[in-house]
Structure 1
Amino acid sequence: MPKKFLKILSKEDALREVLSFCQPIGVETIPVREGAGRVTAEPVFAERSNPPFLCSAVDGYAVSFEKTVTADVRSPILIPYDDCQRINTGERLRQGFDAVFMIEDVEERQEGIIVRRALSLWENVRMLGEDVIEGELLLPPNHQITPFDLGLLLAGGVKYVRVKKRPRALFVPTGKELSDPYDADALAMPEFNSYVALSLLSEWGVLAEKS
């Protein structure tokens, strides 16, 4: 007598039954650089502010904005090199400087730079913690880490992160009529579902293999 499916479960009931056999798989600590695709096991907080200091938002010259208040196109002023700092984007401002001229806005002379406009306080300056503040929540628990998240974590001084261990799966294809597509027997029915399943499981972060 042929076998029959005597009981049909709803999708929700089937999922509930499968999950009833599942156990927590634990957590592990990994370097942030290896975290893409992994799932956070706990909240992740910034361990430092970024930028960690006052830094330039442009390439140019850092100055004291007060030394530029009289500068305009008709009355340019000369700022000696001792009173300014040649600076690159992201570089720390030295003490006493609080604004930055873009390199395109200055004329470099042997004795200093010529400027033709005034700067405002903190113009072209990135402030301490502008991107991330120490102690700020960066990622919640149960969050799948993206490549962009890696940059956020590293900017916040996080070098290691607690993540859930990756689940493992073994795919066992059955059926005497089936043959692996890479086998020599071209007349057999190719078994390809396992390769589809393995690829899907891999996308979901599962360590999957075929029997």
Structure 2
Amino acid sequence: MSLLPVAEAQTRLLGLADPVTIETVPLSEAAGRWAAEDVIARRSQPTADLSAMDGYAIRFADMPGPWRVIGQSAAGAGFTGAAGRCEAVRIFTGAPLPAGTDAILIQEEATHDSDQLVLSGEGPAAAGQHVRRAGGDFEDGARLLEAGARLTPARIALAAIGGHGALAVRRRVKVALISTGDELVPPGAATQGVQLPSSNAVMLAALLGDLPVDIIEGGIVADRLDALANAFDAARHADVIVTTGGASVGDHDLVRPALESAGAKLDFWKIAMKPGKPLMAGKLGSSIALGLPGNPVSAFATAVLFLRPLVARLGGAGDPLPTVHSATLETDLPGTAGRAEYLRGIWTKGTVRPATSQDSAALVALASANTLILRPPHTAPARAGDIVEILPLT
């Protein structure tokens, strides 16, 4: 089977995923979700002309004054009367403009003595100065957010000011994490001989930590077909079943035959990328099975490019793929062969340099990196000062 280009593999993986079901949650629980429906304003903002400054509401045609102060307008307690010729109303930020006024004389440019108001600065330059017009932010019925928009803190505030107390979102995505390998022991456990602490599951759980997921701990599974079959059976209620390790072609790489034995239909296997070639994807019942490599760096890179976008797609994201940026290369890089390369890099103030080690099992270099440098296949050597594509990790 030929190696599948990364972009084609991403498209095929996302094609396996239909967004999960919709639920309505309070705004306090909506952070990080994706809107399942367009969010439509239920009110205008502001609902009336409001003052943007502390000062005095006046009629611009009466400039340069003086004026007689006839009352006060505060936020939530507006002036109920109307201002006539050369009359002013003391006003505070966020308060509605009284009838008959159309500009704000800010308090720093005015002198108020008894009920007399005198211009002491330049004053407003035109009608509408320092006024927030009714509907100036949005009007009732406007589309505030599109379906598929990530609900950031600012967007949640926008929904709230638009009249919403709850929003329709996709439910949390259930992700089962299964680590395979006879050599693995739980993190923190003592190791003997060539045993290794299991790092992939905790790494992947952290990598998904900002997404709306429920992690199902599948534990460490021995390199036996029956053990893997039992693990897959136990995880069938998950939306995504993720394995790390056992996805290559060695005698102990049993994930693929175990999935096929369990009835999975594999869509693709082996990707034209480095690190991370032995990656597989398919369906196991209603679940999506995603087999990642066992080496930690390979697992990390493939999770950034495939697992996170898959979870985002299931969660209802309109644009689930990571955003590519550009940076100026600080050092020379060799050319590439037939696979896209994702180099761990350090990105600082618009420039990027590769980490000291690119070994797929070297976690010190991964821990120091804050970006992946993308090198397409069959690319000529790059020189310091060239522009390269990067995938930021923070």
**Can you list the C-alpha shifts for 1:62-118, whole angstroms capped at 9, x where unaligned?**
12223x33x2xxxxx432221322222211122222211111111121232211456
Q: Which has the higher contact order (CA 8 A, sep 6+)?
A: 1
Q: Does 1:165 align with 2:171?
A: yes
Give the 3 Å change call, closer, same or farther, for CA 14–92 of structure 1 in structure 2. closer
Q: What amino acid sits opposite 1:115 in the alignment?
A: L
Give 1:114's aligned residue: 118
Deviations 1:13-68 (A, max 9, x none): 58636854x554210111234322111111111111101111001111112223x3
Match of 2:211 in 1: 204
Equivalence map 1:3-22=2 (5 Å):
7=1, 10=4, 11=6, 12=8, 16=12, 20=16, 22=17
Alpha carbons of structure 1 residues 130 and 33: separation in structure 2 relative to 1, 3 Å: farther
1:63 partner letter: I
**In the superposition, relative to structure 1, how do residues 206 and 15 fare at CA in structure 2: closer, same or farther (>3 Å)?**
farther
1:74-89 alignment, distance < 5 Å: 77-82=65-70, 83-89=87-93
Structure 1 runs (4+) greater than 6 angstroms displaced: none
Please state whether the residue corresponding to 2:156 is helix, strand or coil: helix
Q: C-alpha separation between the residues in 2 aligned to 1:86 and 1:186? A: 75
Moved more, 51-60 or 86-95: 86-95
Which residue does 2:230 correspond to in 1? none
Q: 1:14 to 1:145 in 2, by over 3 A?
A: closer
Identity %: 30
User: In structure 2, what is the Cα distance between the partners aligned to 1:18 and 1:95?
Assistant: 57
Gaps of 5+ in 2: 71-86, 219-394
| Pairing 1:146–2:141 present | no
The match for 2:104 is 100
Give TM-score scaled by structure 2 length.
0.46
1:26 lines up with 2:42 in the alignment: no
Report Cα offsets for 1:99-151 as digits up to 9, x if no partner.
Answer: 11111111121232211456432221111110111111111111212112112
Displacement of 1:168: 0.6
Please report the TM-score for the alignment, with normalisation by the length of structure 1: 0.81
User: Which deviates more, 114-123 or 92-101?
Assistant: 114-123
Equivalent-residue separation in structure 1 for 2:201 and 2:164 (angstroms)? 38
- 2:51 alignment partner in structure 1: 56
Count of paired positions: 196
AA at the equivalent of 2:67 = I
Counterpart-to-counterpart distance in 2, 1:18 and 1:100: 54
Q: Distance in 2 between matches of 1:17 and 1:81?
A: 69
Check whether the contact 1:201–1:207 (CA below 8 A) recurs between aligned residues: no
CA separation of 1:173/1:93 partners in 2, compared to 1, >3 Å: closer, same or farther?
Answer: same
Task: Give 1:160's aligned amino acid.
Answer: A
Q: SS in structure 1 opposite 2:149?
A: coil
The answer to which structure has the higher strand fraction is: 2
Distance in 2 separating the partners of 1:14 and 1:138: 30
Contact conserved, 2:47 with 2:135, CA < 8 A, in 1?
yes
Q: Select 1:126's aligned residue among 106, 121, 132.
A: 132
Using a 3 Å threshold, how does the CA distance of structure 1 residues 203 and 29 change in structure 2: closer, same or farther? same
Matched with 2:313 is none
User: 2:212 is matched by which residue type in structure 1?
Assistant: G
Report the residue type matching 1:32 in the other structure. L
